[in-house]
């Protein structure tokens, strides 16, 4: 924490949070925010020991603002990084609802899932047998499945929730699948279809699609054509070709905006839109 402020000075600042003078209050808030995330544990202790609901509410808002500032910073760094590592991007989004969650915790769960597949995996398997094996472990052994009951729940876009409940939406289930397949060295990529996110396996003469929302169902380019025809949409190359990790993060954020709007959490939807602006900015 900033060495210039002692606990006594911080206590004095926090005690001014319910000041009726808006100018003083704004100054105090600005000063606390400028201290950065190191001040959060202090604020949380103050919240617990305070009996003033007004001060508690101010502290909650301050902590949230500090946390979302950190999230924005991390997201910008992720966007500017060369790798744009998928799990890291998903973890950053996850810290919107679970600010305490460490990347290592998520990574450890994903490693275990990968290990479950890898122990049964043989390089001499045919391409389709490799995909069948992933399908079998993810959807039969580990019981990952489509969250059709609560399709619009924000939790479906939170990788931590998806890994805990084993239920998700098309893009979160595809993300889990993709992370496993890539770690196995398979040429599997995301594909941005309208209203549905799927995967594609592309190498040499092999080119087919995988629907993780439907237990890893394998389908063809013609099936995508039929799907687009059904939606009365013109085929675009992006509906058939691999997308980048940043597209997966963008779509995950878009799903979150929709989910929060659906349950009437307008403020949260607006905050997620501000995160999308970071991703969309050139």
Question: Are 48 and 99 in a shared domain?
Answer: no
How many folded domains does the chain comprise?
2
How far apart are the C-alpha atoms of 216 and 130, rounded to whole Å? 12
Verify that 40 and 125 share a domain, yes or no: no
Residues 53 and 112 in one domain: no
Does the residue 51 lie in any domain? yes
Q: Are residues 49 and 104 in the same domain?
A: no
217 and 122 in a single domain? The answer is yes
Q: Which structural domain range is residue 22 located in?
A: 7-80
Which phi-psi region, left, alpha or beta, contains residue 140 (left: φ > 0; alpha: ψ -120 to 50)? alpha
Residues 86-133 have pLDDT tens digits of 999 999 999 999 999 999 999 999 999 999 999 999 989 999 999 999
1 in any annotated domain: no
Integer Cα distance of 108 and 91 in angstroms = 12
Residues 69 and 113 both lie in one domain: no
Out of 50, 65, 80, a domain closes at: 80
d(CA 29, CA 58): 9
Would residue 155 count as lying in a domain? Answer: yes
pLDDT digit string (tens) for 203-224? Answer: 989 999 999 999 999 999 999 9
Same domain, 76 and 162: no
Asked whether the CA dihedral 259, 260, 262, 263 is positive or negative, the reply is positive
Task: Band the pLDDT of 2: cuts 50, 70, 90.
Answer: very low
Residues 25-39 have pLDDT tens digits of 777 778 888 887 788
In a domain, 115, yes or no: yes
Examine the domain organization and report whether 149 and 200 are in the same domain: yes
Residue 203 near residue 187 (C-beta atoms within 8 A): yes
- Main-chain phi, psi angles of 189, to 5 degrees: -140, 160
Helices (H) and strands (E) in the chain, counts: 12, 6
Residues 126 and 29 in one domain: no
Q: Are residues 233 and 160 in the same domain?
A: yes
pLDDT at 170: 96
Is the same domain home to 70 and 129? no
116 and 20 share one domain: no
Percent above pLDDT 90 for the chain: 73
Radius of gyration of the chain (CA): 22
Domain boundary (61, 80, 99) is at: 80
Flag whether 2 is in a domain: no
Of 17, 47, 80, the residue that ends a domain is 80
pLDDT band at 3 (very low <50, low <70, confident <90, very high): very low
Question: What percentage of the chain carries pLDDT values higher than 70?
Answer: 96
Parallel/antiparallel/unpaired status of strands 196-203 and 145-146: unpaired
Q: What pTM did the predictor assign?
A: 0.87
Helices 53-80 & 266-280 angle (0-180, nearest 10): 20
pLDDT(189) > 90: yes
Angle between helices 7-15 and 40-49 (to 10 degrees): 60
Q: What gap in Å lies between CA 43 and CA 31, rounded to an integer?
A: 13
């Amino acid at each position: 924490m900033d060495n210039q402020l002692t606990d006594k000075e911080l206590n004095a600042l926090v005690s001014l949070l319910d000041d009726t003078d808006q100018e003083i209050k704004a100054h105090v808030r600005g000063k606390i925010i400028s201290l950065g995330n190191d001040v959060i544990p202090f604020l949380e202790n103050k919240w617990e020991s305070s009996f003033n609901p007004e001060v508690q509410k101010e502290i909650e808002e301050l902590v949230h603002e500090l946390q979302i500032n950190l999230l924005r910073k991390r997201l910008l760094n992720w966007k500017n990084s060369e790798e744009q590592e998928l799990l890291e991007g998903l973890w950053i989004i996850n810290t919107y609802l679970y600010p305490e969650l460490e990347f290592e915790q998520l990574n450890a769960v994903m490693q275990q899932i990968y290990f479950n597949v890898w122990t049964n995996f043989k390089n001499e398997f045919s391409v389709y047998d490799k995909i069948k094996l992933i399908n079998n472990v993810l959807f039969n052994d580990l019981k990952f499945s489509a969250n059709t009951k609560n399709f619009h729940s924000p939790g479906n876009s939170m990788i931590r929730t998806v890994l805990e409940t084993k239920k998700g939406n098309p893009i979160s289930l595809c993300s889990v699948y993709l992370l496993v397949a890539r770690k196995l060295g398979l040429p599997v990529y995301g594909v941005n279809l309208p209203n549905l996110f799927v995967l594609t396996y592309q190498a040499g003469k092999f080119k087919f699609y995988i629907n993780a929302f439907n237990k890893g169902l394998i389908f063809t380019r013609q099936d995508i054509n039929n799907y687009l025809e059904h939606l009365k949409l013109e085929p675009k190359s992006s509906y058939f070709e691999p997308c980048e990790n940043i597209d997966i993060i963008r779509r995950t954020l878009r799903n979150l905006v929709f989910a929060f709007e659906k349950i009437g959490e307008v403020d949260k939807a607006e905050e997620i839109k501000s995160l999308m602006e970071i991703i969309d900015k050139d």
